[in-house]
Amino acid sequence: MNRSVQKYFPIFLLPTLIVFTVIFLAPFILGIYLSFCKFTTITDAVWIGFFNYPRLFEDIIFRHSFWYTVSFTIVTMMLINVLAFFVALALTKKLRGKNFFRTVFFIPNLIGGIILGYIWQLLLNGLLTFVGRTLTSSGKYGFWGLVFLLCWQQIGYMMIIYIAGIQNIPWELTEAAKIDGATYWQRIRHVVIPMVMPAFNVCTFLTLTNGLKLFDQNLALTHGAPSRMSEMLALNIYNTFYGRPGYEGVGQAKAVVFFLLVATIALIQHRITLSKEVKVTE
């Protein structure tokens, strides 16, 4: 069996590999190349070397977007994980209609970000009318609007992962803890949380990268208004690329910097949570 796997694995990998190359790897490499070019459409690029990179750091809005995105990611990462975990706890208890609730919580995930953004724009603006404000009155309204939107959308998804994690805990463990006289919260603190560490790892990774890469919701909900104060990194790159003639290369350079940033942060996060994971399973 092993031998045949060794023999045939390239054939099975091939379809995925082709698709991955065509729609991910090739554009990625092309993108890096374009960040050193001046161009209007990507087919007529002219090599200009490092010219685009210094200009990227002159952009004040880019710096603002950076900190805006980082704080957004931290807030959403914590909120989504904590809330999703507690919802998962509640829905793994013996509860009537828990499957129904699981579905309800999961459904927001099935709606596209653009549609969600526009729907919540209407709803949140409708609410804010009572205090005479809109989502774009200042960057803060947009920030919390986006936090709310992303939580609403992603808690259900992370909840499913946590539910799977909780259900995988051997019942002997909780049973033994119970017999030893551990209270409910002690069981959660010392049995459940350490045991769902793998799920926690996955969820943190997902929420972290989702927060950093957020685009659709940002575009639809606030479109960066007012004065680009609610513009996150991905939208900033998009606007640089499409909004300014002659800045296509700078937008591309921003995208490369953005990639390095997300990759570094995600790798560090993975290291940290993975080390925790190993400790508990030993």
Partner 1 sequence: MKKKTQKRNRLIALLLAGVTVISVFSGCGNRKKNKNSFWGNHKKTGKVYYLNFKPEQAEQWKELAAGYTKETGVKVEVETAASGTYESTLKSEMAKNEAPTMFQVKGPLGLFSEKDYCYDLSDSAVYKHVKSDDYVLKEKNKVVGIAYVIETYGIIYNKKILNRYFKLPDAEIHSISELNNFSTLKKVANGIQEHKNELGVRGAFTSAGMDPSSDWRYKIHLANLPIYYEYKDKGITSTDAIQGTYLNNYKQIFDLYIQDSTTDPFMLSSKTGEDAAFEFALGEAAFYQNGTWAYNDIKGNSVADEDLGMLPIYIGADGEEDQGLCTGCEYYWCVNKKASEEDIQATLDFMEWCITSEKGRKVISEEMGFITPFKTFEDYLPKNPLVKISEEYIQAGKFPVSWNFLTIPSVEWENGVGSALLEYAQKTGTWDAVVHAFVDGWKTEYTAVYGEESMIS
Could you list the residues that contact partner 1 (CB under 8 A)?
4, 8, 11-12, 14-15, 18-19, 38, 40-44, 48, 51, 121, 125, 129, 132-138, 223, 225-228, 242-248
Task: In angstroms, give the least distance from the CB of 7 to partner 1.
Answer: 9
Which phi and psi angles does 265 have, rounded to 5°? Answer: -60, -45
Of the pair 51, 86, the CB lying nearest partner 1 is at 51
Of the pair 132, 181, the CB lying nearest partner 1 is at 132
Of the pair 42, 79, the CB lying nearest partner 1 is at 42
Which phi and psi angles does 46 have, rounded to 5°? Answer: -120, 130
Question: What interhelical angle do 60-91 and 98-106 show, nearest 10?
Answer: 170
Which are the contacts of 108, defined by CB distance < 8 A and separation ≥ 6?
A: 116, 152, 153, 156
Question: Residue 19 corresponds to which amino acid?
Answer: V
β partners of residue 46: 38
Of the pair 92, 240, the CB lying nearest partner 1 is at 240
Q: Nearest 10 degrees: CA dihedral of 32, 37, 39, 42? A: -30
Task: In angstroms, give the least distance from the CB of 99 to partner 1.
Answer: 35
Q: Which two tokens stand for residue 137?
A: 């009155």
Task: In angstroms, give the least distance from the CB of 208 to partner 1.
Answer: 29
Task: In angstroms, give the least distance from the CB of 5 to partner 1.
Answer: 9
Task: In angstroms, give the least distance from the CB of 56 to partner 1.
Answer: 14
Q: Which two tokens stand for residue 246?
A: 């002659």
Of the pair 38, 98, the CB lying nearest partner 1 is at 38
